[in-house]
Amino acid sequence: MFWTERNVTRWTQACEIEVEHGLAVCDTDPLKLHYSWCLARAGLTSAVDFESQLPLARSAIETQRLGLADLIACQIPSYDTLRRQKEHDSTRSRRNFEVNARLAGPLREWYQALDDTDPGRVVWNWSTEPPLIRRQRYDRDLFEAWMKRLPALSA
């Protein structure tokens, strides 16, 4: 429940910025459900964490307290690129580097499932002018279809 409420706060802030400025850009997906799924998919936690968050996220979407971003720009660098960035950045410890690097494949699966479910919602290459289309943010059927497209998690 704690993480769902944190995600609701992020979503609310983004919506307020959008009302004020016409556009909100977040540096992470406000839904943030991908993290527990990716950890489980990579075998770093059990599926229980994700499965316990799923009904809470679903309920928050149904009540429009949390939604799906209109556009997600997703770029996942190679392990070698990430390693070079780590080695050349003395400003951060990156103590969880190996864990986060293991999440790259599952993260691609997560957003590929969304892109397959709702083509065009995910862009895989940076663009100076991404195609911003207002989409269904609170569509439970879309959310359920996306979750069903995800590869299965181990127990």
Asked whether residue 133 is assigned to any structural domain, the reply reads yes
Q: How far apart are CA 61 and CA 49, in angstroms?
A: 19
Q: Give the domain extent around 22.
A: 2-149
User: Is 155 a domain residue?
Assistant: no
Per-residue pLDDT, 11: 96
Whether residue 154 is contained in a domain is answered as no
Q: In this predicted structure, what is the pLDDT of residue 155?
A: 63
The verdict on residue 9 lying in a domain is yes
Q: Which pLDDT does position 93 carry in this prediction?
A: 80
Would you say residue 128 lies in a domain? yes
The pair of three-digit structure tokens given for residue 107, joined into one six-digit string = 């993260």
pLDDT for 146 equals 98
| In a domain? residue 98 | yes
How many residues are recorded in the chain? 155
Amino acid at 148: K
Task: State the pLDDT at residue 39.
Answer: 95
> Which regions in the chain score pLDDT beneath 50?
none
The number of distinct structural domains making up the chain is: 1
Is 51 inside any structural domain?
A: yes
